[in-house]
Structure 1
Amino acid sequence: MGHATKEGTFGYLKKFGNYSKDFYRFNGELFFPSLGIGTYKAEPYKEDNYIINYAEAIKTALRRGINLIDTAINYRYQMSEREIAEALNEMIQSGEIKREEVIIASKGGFIPLDFPFPDNPYGWIQENMIDQGLASKEEIVIDQHCMTPEYLRWSCEQSLRNLEIDTIDIFYLHNPETQLGYIDQATFYERIEAAFALFEELRSEKKIVSYGIAAWNGFLYEADHLEYVSLGKVADIAQRVGGENHGFKYIQSPFNLAKPHAYGYANQECEDGLFYPLMHACARYGLTYIGSSSLLQTNLFKRPFASNVAELMKTGELSDVASALQFARSAGGISALFGAVDPSHVVDNAFLGYLPEASVESVNTLMRGAYAV
């Protein structure tokens, strides 16, 4: 079924001519919507993970101008990927959407187990990973994370099976900083290099188009923190492994009103010896930044926002959710991700397509006084 293309994503955006002209952004390869839909569900042991289904929300997103779909093999024990396949297959077969119009991102690194949750997860790891030669016990960190090339290849190929596609557009190494504290820095970057070498192989096999790192706090910590990841070192590894035409193109990390560090905290050293916020450092290294956790898994809404937030974001009488998403998509990343199972929530969020993004001055006003914790 191919993969997302410049022509396909441009053709897709033309269906939404009523949207604000800045709702879509071009990174030189693809046209991205400034909002993307994610399929992460917190608290995976809860029963509702066994009854929810993302398929209707995915279809609604694609019908409302949101053609960036973000997932990971470990989300809900591989079920999120399978539900994306359910939605895509229906829409592609009906002619409502084309594969080349949709940007699909997934991740490998965490051990996914399988649905339904196995009675003995340690037995699943032994049988499906160690016995299959994907990793040794020592290469699996805290029974949940692995970066061996053998495991990452299996993870990517299993994601392709789950998604029922030929090629993943963006394949992320998922929260590699999970291993720091259990392995030393030298070993950590050696494992990154081996992972990137594998990703270049997967590119040559047309199983992925580009790759990146999706981190939680790794790129946002201060430089002396145990779990800090240097973007400069990672970029150097990509050059060494893949040459000038390497496929390392994307960084994903949280960005929201409560966690704005990627925009305002200068912690990443660049080639000039100066420190820059992550978004700015990405631009200097030619990487596309995508913001995750735009709503902080709804933890932003424990109390109402101050009235000036909606005023600055030009979200008027819309909800605090709309104001939070407007902030997240207006700071410089190419897209901001939100999770939604209820299709009506997707409709509400997609209404931002009609609004221009917030100004730099408004974003900076909200950022004023923000600091890293």
Structure 2
Amino acid sequence: MATSSGTWGYRDRFGDRFGRTYFRRFGPGVVSSVGAGTYLGDATDAVDDRYREALATALTNGVNLVDTASNYRCGRAERVVGEALRESGVDREAVVVASKAGFLPFDGDRPEDPARYVRETFVDAGLVDPADLAHGSHCIAPEFLDAMLDRSLDAMGIRSVDCYYVHNPETQLAVRERDDVYDQLEAAFETLERRRAAGDLGAYGVASWEAFRVPPEHDAHLDLAAVLARAEAAAETVGVEGHGLRAVQLPFNVRMADAFTVDAHDAGAEDGPVSALEFCHREGLSVFASASIGQGELAREGAIPEDVAARLAGDTPAQRALNFARSAPAVTAALVGCGRVEHVRENVAAGTFDPLGASAFDSVFE
């Protein structure tokens, strides 16, 4: 698991190479504000090889945050993360590793009959009750999350994960009421609290695509205040002091700024609703911004509005997009895909520039 001495020691290796606030506090230590994502790419050996080299390059050049999930690239992403950790030579205690569970993962490639695979691998094996499934592919029941955490640790060859996310819980809203999904989350958090107490994870979070950036009337909306209350209740039930909900992952970039602009979360009767980023800022939750360069779209010249681009530091559109995401309140890190070494070098270099200050960031939206 990442430690204070390990992550601070990692930071100190780079001296003044990076700009202001490139390393930020998370967990017991610090984490780079550019994180290595592992979502995109085909489930092939060739893509594995590119990721392995790119991740090792990131780890040795100033990125000590790796984000993955049990279902990414048919389960290959976690395996490659583990291989890159070992091959990079970087101390495990210096690296913050995050993974997720929620979508039923395949094992190396996409099966010819996915429904049969799910039935035989998960339902018949007793890992998933069909009643807990949404769209035949999503589950956040305690027994499933427990098994997936073990699978993640085995796949990466590590003893513990630093942050484990419940992945896209809004998927369950397709088949059940919102209060029932909050109940599911509380049960999931109880499981993760027990695993945290056992030393298998350092913290947990919720990773979403729509839930936290859409208005309350949207079918996919989940309220962060309600989610936080369920984490507090879970910690009390398990009997641990203080909950382990520390992170929220959501899309945030210059074209998908809803997490900053949409007031969708209950901040109490006096203040009324606030944005996801404002809520997390108030509650001390770390935000990890996914899609920070719009899955590559914002890396093209002209993709960032000219008036916004002019305020952002960076030599390339991708660097400016990353520095926009890194500038937002409550954002601890901007996640970006790292499937190629050349992209890693460009993305890491974004951290040599300073992010926008709070006033400058706010002025973008005026």
- TM-score band w.r.t. shorter chain: over 0.9
* 2:335 pairs with 1:337: yes
CA contact (8 A) 1:235 1:285 kept: no
CA contact (8 A) 2:224 2:265 kept: yes
Q: TM-score, normalised by structure 1?
A: 0.91
d(CA) in 2 for partners of 1:85, 1:367: 40
d(CA) in 1 for partners of 2:225, 2:70: 27
* 2:32 pairs with 1:33: yes
Match of 1:233 in 2: 226
Greater Cα offset, 52-61 or 160-169: 52-61
Match of 2:182 in 1: 189
**Superimposed CA distance per residue, residues 55-75 of structure 1 (whole angstroms, 9 cap, x where no aligned partner):** 111111111101000000000
Q: Which amino acid aligns with 2:47?
A: I
CA contact (8 A) 2:102 2:167 kept: yes
* 2:328 pairs with 1:326: no
C-alpha distance 25-248 of structure 1, shift in aligned 2 (>3 A): same
d(CA) in 2 for partners of 1:183, 1:122: 21
Secondary structure of the residue that 1:152 maps to in structure 2?
helix
Offset at residue 163 of structure 1 (A): 0.6
d(CA) in 1 for partners of 2:73, 2:262: 32
Secondary structure of the residue that 1:170 maps to in structure 2?
strand
Match of 1:200 in 2: 193
* 2:243 pairs with 1:250: no
C-alpha distance 237-306 of structure 1, shift in aligned 2 (>3 A): closer
d(CA) in 2 for partners of 1:359, 1:186: 38
Match of 1:20 in 2: 19
Match of 1:282 in 2: 280
Offset at residue 302 of structure 1 (A): 6.0
Which aligned pairs between 1:50-65 and structure 2 lie closer than 5 A? 50-53=45-48, 54-65=51-62
Offset at residue 285 of structure 1 (A): 2.1
Secondary structure of the residue that 1:350 maps to in structure 2?
helix
* 2:30 pairs with 1:6: no
Q: Which amino acid aligns with 1:331?
A: A
d(CA) in 2 for partners of 1:186, 1:353: 41
CA contact (8 A) 2:299 2:316 kept: no
Q: Which amino acid aligns with 1:58?
A: L
Match of 2:163 in 1: 170
Which aligned pairs between 1:310-321 and structure 2 lie closer than 5 A? 310-315=309-314, 318-321=315-318
CA contact (8 A) 2:2 2:28 kept: no
Secondary structure of the residue that 1:66 maps to in structure 2?
coil
Greater Cα offset, 353-362 or 296-305: 296-305
Offset at residue 190 of structure 1 (A): 1.2
**Superimposed CA distance per residue, residues 318-362 of structure 1 (whole angstroms, 9 cap, x where no aligned partner):** 111111111011112011000021111111111122211122233
Secondary structure of the residue that 1:145 maps to in structure 2?
coil
C-alpha distance 124-136 of structure 1, shift in aligned 2 (>3 A): same
Offset at residue 49 of structure 1 (A): 4.4
Q: Which amino acid aligns with 1:261?
A: D
Offset at residue 245 of structure 1 (A): 1.2
Match of 1:269 in 2: 266
Q: Which amino acid aligns with 1:345?
A: H
d(CA) in 1 for partners of 2:18, 2:122: 47
Offset at residue 288 of structure 1 (A): 1.2
Greater Cα offset, 268-277 or 102-111: 268-277
Q: Which runs of 5+ in 1 are unaligned?
A: 369-373
Offset at residue 141 of structure 1 (A): 0.9
User: Which of 75, 100, 115 is residue 72 of structure 2 equivalent to?
Assistant: 75
Match of 1:132 in 2: 125
d(CA) in 2 for partners of 1:272, 1:27: 30
Offset at residue 301 of structure 1 (A): 4.8
C-alpha distance 286-306 of structure 1, shift in aligned 2 (>3 A): closer
Which aligned pairs between 1:136-175 and structure 2 lie closer than 5 A? 136-175=129-168
**Superimposed CA distance per residue, residues 56-106 of structure 1 (whole angstroms, 9 cap, x where no aligned partner):** 111111111010000000001110000011111123xxxx31111000000
Q: Which amino acid aligns with 2:224?
A: L
Identity of aligned residues (%): 33
Greater Cα offset, 139-148 or 19-28: 19-28
CA contact (8 A) 1:340 1:346 kept: yes
Secondary structure of the residue that 1:334 maps to in structure 2?
strand
Match of 2:95 in 1: 102
Secondary structure of the residue that 1:55 maps to in structure 2?
helix
Count of matched residue pairs: 356
Q: TM-score, normalised by structure 2?
A: 0.93
Greater Cα offset, 26-35 or 187-196: 26-35
**Superimposed CA distance per residue, residues 16-42 of structure 1 (whole angstroms, 9 cap, x where no aligned partner):** 112223111114632011110100016
* 2:358 pairs with 1:360: yes
Match of 1:371 in 2: none
Secondary structure of the residue that 2:351 maps to in structure 1?
helix
C-alpha distance 80-27 of structure 1, shift in aligned 2 (>3 A): closer
CA contact (8 A) 1:260 1:367 kept: no
Offset at residue 296 of structure 1 (A): 1.3
Secondary structure of the residue that 1:32 maps to in structure 2?
strand
CA contact (8 A) 1:41 1:49 kept: no
